[in-house]
Amino acid sequence: MLRSDAGLERQLATQTASSSGGLFWRILPITVGLAICALLVHLLVVLVVRPAPRTYSLDAISSALGSGRAIRELDVQLAAPPSASQQDDRDRAFGLALADRLGVEPSTVRFVLIKLSRPGDREGSGAAARGRVTDETRDAVDAIGEMPDEIVGDFTAALRLDDGRWRVVRPLRRSAQK
């Protein structure tokens, strides 16, 4: 009887070891699959989903330029203005609209919408290659009759003050808003 008890114990130990080993091999692929799914969801959220671009009203921008006070998501500083060579016709049209709202000469306002460079952009396709504002540009702005009231994306707007310094308005960085 002693021998049969030892045999039963050995048989039970063998069955327990094989069943726990089988359970491990059944759970392992599920665990690995879940880890891969979590990684793919994370990559999808981080790399593919982009936040919506921010919009700014021309009234808010002109108010910040005129008053010198920061408004909501706009930062106001005395700083160097964007170079006139950075402006394209659309930028100049927005500058004309801002000058009109501020009641100042267009030469005292500069506006540049920040353009992100993308792979495949041709060299020389920048604002400097597009030329200066012309009567045609002003006629086009007049023909439109009205500029859009909102700007989408980042920009730099500047107003030359009477003492020759420039008041510059830019959107606050997203990290600075939190």
Q: What average pLDDT does the structure give for the chain?
A: 76
Residues 142, 112 share a domain = yes
66 burial level (CB within 10 Å; 0-12, 13-18, 19+): middle
pLDDT at 33 over 90: yes
pLDDT at 5 over 80: no
Residues 111, 61 share a domain = yes
Residues 115, 71 share a domain = yes
Report d(CA 63, CA 169) in Å as an integer.
10
Domains in the chain, number? 2
Convert the pLDDT of each residue in 111-136 to its tens digit. Answer: 998 865 444 444 444 433 333 444 55
Residues 69, 156 share a domain = yes
User: Residue 24: CA atoms inside 13 Å, Cβ hemisphere, count?
Assistant: 6
Report d(CA 139, CA 152) in Å as an integer.
23
Residues 75, 32 share a domain = no
Residues 41, 59 share a domain = no
pLDDT of the residue at 84: 84
Q: Using CA atoms of 53, 121, 124, 142 in order, give the dihedral in degrees to the nearest 10.
A: -40
What predicted TM-score, i.e. pTM, was given to this entire model?
A: 0.57
28 confidence band (pLDDT: 50, 70, 90): very high
Residues 92, 35 share a domain = no
Convert the pLDDT of each residue in 144-174 to its tens digit. Answer: 555 577 888 889 999 999 999 999 999 987 6
Residues 107, 150 share a domain = yes
Last residue of a domain, one of 10, 26, 49: 49
Residues 69, 30 share a domain = no
Alpha-carbon distance values, 110 to 27, 38, 49, 127 (Å) = 64, 47, 33, 13
Residues 114, 130 share a domain = yes
Rank 67-76, 91-100, 160-169 by mean pLDDT and report only the highest. Answer: 160-169
Last residue of a domain, one of 49, 67, 86: 49
| Domain interval for residue 117 | 55-177
Alpha-carbon distance values, 118 to 52, 53, 123, 150 (Å) = 18, 17, 11, 24
Residues 134, 63 share a domain = yes
Q: Which residues pair with residue 158 across a beta bridge? A: 110, 168
Residues 59, 20 share a domain = no
